[in-house]
Amino acid sequence: MRLLTWNINGYRAIQKKGLEDILGMLDLSVACFQEIKALPEQIEMDPYLFDQVFINSAKRKGYSGTMIASIIKPKQVTYGLGVEELDQEGRVITAIFDGFALVTVYTPNAQDGLKRIEFRQQWDEAFGQHLRRLGCPVLVCGDFNVARTELDIYNEAAGKNSPGYSIQERQGFEAHLMPYFKDVFRELHPQTRQYTWWSYYSRARERNDGWRIDYWLASPELMPYIREITILDDIYGSDHCPILLDFDEVAFRKANQQ
């Protein structure tokens, strides 16, 4: 089972840049997108690529939003966290498959001056609770808007106290997610510096002045069945790049049927 996560920074914009051609080359089972910035009626996915499409749009037009496209029909799909004040921006989709859940998330940015940090902290706690309530192994992917450590940011000194690298955000990630999940890239590549987001300013991507803020997280019991994770930083179209996960779903199901 090959899965992808990608903050595409606008579905309609990236579609014009060859999104479906990129997806077609990757031989995917499931693709998860964040920051789609579109309503369901504005999204046209080629049914030969994915015949199952689930969209959670923000109430505010042209903002935020998430989407899961799949060739496998989930048993159940839910939208949001079940908390009204947190569910206005289309930031979460949960799909239940055979034996595990897949969750895609677009975590709120704390914004300049950390002016949205209280909302972010409320979100982090509620999102962690949502994942734990699922009651099954979970794969979690998306843009978490935080670089965990100095390995995940090009210039740590410049990033200190900035949104995405503040103490509050890093502590929230560690407290609400890391006791329960594994950071798949860091588990498989413990010392590798590789980034998933680059600012559009100052030609940051050309200089690889990036941050790793997009993740695949996995329940510990799923880790033995994850064959590889690949940050596809040679794929353009957004200020983020996609991350590919190869998950041996067949072996996982067989092991859990015994």
Catalytic option among 21, 27, 87, 106 = 106
Provide the sign of the torsion angle of the four alpha carbons 94, 9, 40, 231, taken in this order.
negative
Is 143 one of the annotated active-site residues of the chain?
Answer: yes
241/20 Cα distance (integer angstroms): 15
Catalytic option among 11, 124, 143, 214 = 143
CA 181 → CA 77, 178, 235, distances in Å? 21, 5, 27
64/179 Cα distance (integer angstroms): 28
CA 130 → CA 92, 138, 216, 246, distances in Å? 10, 11, 17, 25
DSSP 105: E
Beta strand ranges found along 9-136 (DSSP E) = 30-34, 52-56, 66-70, 76-79, 92-97, 100-106
Is 21 one of the annotated active-site residues of the chain?
Answer: no
92/22 Cα distance (integer angstroms): 24
Please list the active-site residues.
Answer: 106, 143
